[in-house]
Amino acid sequence: DADVTQTPRNRITKTGKRIMLECSQTKGHDRMYWYRQDPGLGLRLIYYSFDVKDINKGEISDGYSVSRQAQAKFSLSLESAIPNQTALYFCATSASTGNQPQHFGDGTRLSIL
Amino acid sequence: EDQVTQSPEALRLQEGESSSLNCSYTVSGLRGLFWYRQDPGKGPEFLFTLYSAGEEKEKERLKATLTKKESFLHITAPKPEDSATYLCAVIGSGYSTLTFGKGTMLLVSP
């Protein structure tokens, strides 16, 4: 089983809809992250959380919100989806000791029509 | 602001043809430089962490090196299964999260 699981893997929806992407992890890490990846733009950080009570905005948080329901669960919401939010979304986790690498899920491909 | 530039954007090699990928960075107080491999439809997979200039890490046909301004990912005698996008990321003393480069897409032909 994957250490970092994202659901759904693919989603097609319409402009204006509310969408939730979910991430769960079994690595026991405190830190969790949401990124989006677009061709030519690379990975950009949306939100991150260093523990259950901590939520921080990343580089491109406008139009997104997050919820850290438990140490192992971190969800990303698009309150009213728009076409330029079409992208590949990744969740990642890392340990809180030292400068540890982040470990990624396999992503959610989101298309907004 | 931390910055990472990777070159080339794309690289095509013949099987067995060794080469290097470059990651140039600007960061205030480097705390770590990370290399990842990403296959199509998959999330980035962690390869190496380098912490200080002069450090080297190896894994199979890959070797990562670090200077004060750049890192190289050397690929020796590559095979088609080494085809992927390779990402570089840094974390500096002024930030608590990674800054990623845009990646180098490597294609190794048999």
- Residues B65-76: tens digit of each pLDDT: 999 999 999 999
- pLDDT of A102 > 90? The answer is yes
Give chain B's contact residues with A (Cβ, < 8 Å): 31-32, 34, 36, 41-46, 49, 51, 87, 91, 96-98, 100-103
CB < 8 Å to B1, chain A: none
Of B29, B35, B27, the C-alpha closest to B6 is: B35
Using CB atoms, pick whichever of A40, A42, A105 lies closest to residue B100. A42
CB < 8 Å to B46, chain A: 101-103
Binned at pLDDT 50, 70 and 90, residue A72 comes out as: very high
Tell me which of B33, B98, B102, B105 to substitute to probe the interface with A (most A C-beta atoms closer than 10 Å). Answer: B98
Coil/strand/helix, residue B81:
helix
Averaged pLDDT for residues B56-70: 96
User: CB burial class (10 A; 0-12, 13-18, 19+) of residue A52?
Assistant: middle
Using CB atoms, pick whichever of A99, A103, A104 lies closest to residue B91. A99
Distance from the A69 Cα atom to the nearest Cα atom in chain B, whole angstroms? 21
Distance from the A9 Cα atom to the nearest Cα atom in chain B, whole angstroms? 10
Contact between A85 and A15 under an 8 Å Cβ cutoff? The reply is no
Binned at pLDDT 50, 70 and 90, residue A1 comes out as: low
Binned at pLDDT 50, 70 and 90, residue B8 comes out as: very high
Q: According to the model, what pLDDT value does residue B87 have?
A: 98
User: Nearest residue on chain B to A43, judged by CA atoms?
Assistant: B100
User: Nearest residue on chain A to B51, judged by CA atoms?
Assistant: A99
Binned at pLDDT 50, 70 and 90, residue A39 comes out as: confident
Binned at pLDDT 50, 70 and 90, residue B12 comes out as: very high
Averaged pLDDT for residues B76-104: 93
CA atoms of A57 and A49, how far apart (whole Å)? 9
Q: According to the model, what pLDDT value does residue A80 have?
A: 95
Binned at pLDDT 50, 70 and 90, residue A2 comes out as: low
Name the average pLDDT for chain A.
Answer: 94
Subunit contact B44:A50, Cβ cutoff 8 A: no
Subunit contact A107:B41, Cβ cutoff 8 A: yes
Strands (E), A1-113: 4-7, 10-13, 19-25, 31-38, 42-49, 56-57, 64-70, 73-78, 87-94, 103-104, 108-112
Pairing of strands A31-38, A87-94: antiparallel
